[in-house]
Amino acid sequence: MKDFKDNTRERSDRDVLRRLLSYMKPYKKQFLLIVVLMLFALVIELFPPLMVGYIIDTVISDTLDREGMILRVILTAAVFLIVVAVANITAYYQQLLLQKVGQQTVMKLRDDVFNHIEHLAIEQINQVPVGKLVTRVSNDTNAISEMYTNIGVNLVRNLLYLVAIVIILFVINWHMTLFVMITVPFVILASVIFRKFSRSSYRLVRRNVSEVNAFLSENLSGMKITQIFNQEDKKRSEFKSKSSDLKKSYLREILVFGIYRPTIYLLAMIGSVMALYFGFQQVIIGVLSVGMLYSFYQYVGNFFEPIQQIAEQFNMLQNAFASAEKVFDVLDTKPAIVDAEDAIDLRSFTGSIEFKDVWFQYIPDEWVLKGVSFKVNPGETVAFVGATGSGKTTILSLMVRNYEIQKGQILIDGIDIRKIKRSSLRQKIGQMLQDVFLFSGTIKDNITLKDESISMEEVRSASEYVGANSFIESLPDGYHHIVRERGNNFSSGQRQLISFARALVYKPSLMILDEATANIDSETEEIIQASLEKLMNISTMLIVAHRLSTIQHADRIIVMQKGEIKESGNHQELLKQHGLYRSLYELQYDDQPGKEKKND
Tell me, letter by letter, the H, E, C secondary structure of 498-524.
HHHHHHHHCCCCEEEEECCCCCCCHHH
Residue at 353 is within a domain: no
**For residues 347, 349, 354 and 356, what is the CA-based torsion angle, rounded to 10 degrees?**
-20
Nearest in space to 257 (alpha carbons), one of 317, 184, 321: 317
Residue at 270 is within a domain: yes
Residue at 423 is within a domain: no
Residue at 6 is within a domain: no
Residue at 424 is within a domain: no
- For 13-32, how does the pLDDT look when each residue is reduced to its tens digit (9 = 90+)? 788 888 988 998 888 889 88
**129/131 Cα distance (integer angstroms):** 5
- For 276-318, how does the pLDDT look when each residue is reduced to its tens digit (9 = 90+)? 888 888 888 878 888 888 888 888 878 877 877 776 777 778 7
pTM of the model: 0.74
Residue at 425 is within a domain: no
Averaged pLDDT of the chain: 85
CATH of the domain at 299: 1.20.1560.10
**84/24 Cα distance (integer angstroms):** 31
Residue at 493 is within a domain: no
Number of domains in the chain: 1
**105/150 Cα distance (integer angstroms):** 13
Residue at 224 is within a domain: yes
Residue 588 pLDDT greater than 50, yes or no: yes
One DSSP character per residue, 340-379 reads -TT-B--------EEEEEEEEEEETTEEEEEEEEEEE-TT
- For 381-435, how does the pLDDT look when each residue is reduced to its tens digit (9 = 90+)? 999 999 888 999 999 999 999 999 999 999 999 999 999 999 889 888 888 887 8
Residue 470 pLDDT greater than 80, yes or no: yes
What is the residue range of 158's domain?
A: 13-331
Measured in degrees and rounded to the nearest 5, phi and psi for residue 10 equal -70, 130
State CA 183 to chain mean position distance: 44
**452/449 Cα distance (integer angstroms):** 9
Q: What mean pLDDT is predicted for residues 245-269? A: 85
